[in-house]
Amino acid sequence: MIKHFAKRPLAVAFVAGLVAAGAATLAVADGEFLAGNHDRSHGWGHVARQSDAPKQIVIDNLDNFVVSKGDPDQAALTQEVCGDCHSTDYPATQLKMSCAAWGKEIVKMGNTFGAVVPWKEDGISKANLTDILHYLADNYGQGAAACVGNELDPLILD
């Protein structure tokens, strides 16, 4: 393997310049402000030896995707259709949106993000998605009463 050294002596000068600049301005520091020595604690030119053992994290115990609000059947349907990609906190953290705005989101997921393909494969119909729209509008929005029925018209599902 060719060593790609020595093309960039500037980098050394750059770091050295920063160290010098740091030393010059350190005089203004007090207390917790500007505490710490960057050159050692933050890795300018120094990198702790890294393990070559495989690294694995476990986050399944933190996954928040259980839909618990509202009508149980609609909740289960919503979880089945939306839950592969989104946790419940996704709708829960949005501002309570109008039915029209929730309709736009479903259309966007379907047409733009390509979710219509798995929906078709799983036999999800426009009627199913309308149920989901009503569920989202009721439980994470301004209510399904304002739905007018054309919200999912732009969806290319057929």
Partner 1 sequence: MFNSDDKENEDRKLNRRDFMRKAGVLGLAGIAGGQALKAVAHPLNNDTPRVITAPDQPNPPVITQEFPIPGNDERQIVQYPEKRPLIRITSRPPQLETPMPMLAEKGGITANDAFFVRYHNSEIPLSIDPKTYTVEVKVNNGVYDPLTSTPTTIYTVSLDDLRTNFHRFSIAAVNQCSGNSRGLESPRMPGGQIGNGACGCAIWTGVRLKDVLEAAGVPAGTQQVIVNGLDQPDDEPPDFVKAIPLDRAMDGEVMLAYAMNGEEIPMLNGYPLKLIVPGWYGTYHVKHINEIILSDSSDFSKMFYMGTAYRIPDNGSGYLPPGTAWSGPWIPITRIRIRSFITSHVNGATVHTGRPVKIHGVAFDGGDGIKTVEFSSDGGASWKKAELGRRLGNYAFREWRGRFVPPADGEYTLKVRAVSNSGETQPENPDDCWNPNGYMRNVVESVRVTAVSDWDKQKGVNS
Name residues contacting partner 1, limited to 23-62 (CB under 8 A): 25-26, 28-29, 31, 33-38, 41-62
Return d(Cα 130, Cα 77) in angstroms, integer.
Answer: 11
Using the minimum distance from each CB to partner 1, give the nearer residue, 103 or 134: 103
Q: Where are the alpha helices (DSSP H) in 62-125?
A: 72-82, 89-93, 99-107, 116-121
14's tokens: 């750059």
104's tokens: 């736009």
Question: Does position 68 bind partner 1 by CB under 8 A?
Answer: no
For partner 1, which residue of 16, 73, 76, 89 counts as binding (CB under 8 A)?
89
137's tokens: 């509008």
Question: Does position 127 bind partner 1 by CB under 8 A?
Answer: no
Place of tokens 């979880």: 79
Question: Does position 16 bind partner 1 by CB under 8 A?
Answer: no
Return d(Cα 89, Cα 104) in angstroms, integer.
Answer: 19
Q: How far is CA 31 from CA 25, 36, 101, in A?
A: 14, 10, 50
Question: Does position 5 bind partner 1 by CB under 8 A?
Answer: yes
**How many CB atoms neighbour CB 60 within 10 A?**
5
Using the minimum distance from each CB to partner 1, give the nearer residue, 97 or 144: 97
Question: Does position 21 bind partner 1 by CB under 8 A?
Answer: yes
CA 20 vs. chain centroid, Å, equals 40
**Segment 90 to 119, residues that bind partner 1, using CB under 8 A:** 90, 92-97, 101, 105, 112-118
State the minimum distance, in angstroms, from the CB of residue 17 to partner 1: 10
For partner 1, which residue of 13, 16, 20, 63 counts as binding (CB under 8 A)?
63
On whether the CB atoms of residues 146 and 105 are closer than 8 A, the answer is no
State the minimum distance, in angstroms, from the CB of residue 80 to partner 1: 11
* Residue range at the interface with partner 1 (CB under 8 A); choices 18-26, 67-75, 128-136, 145-153: 18-26
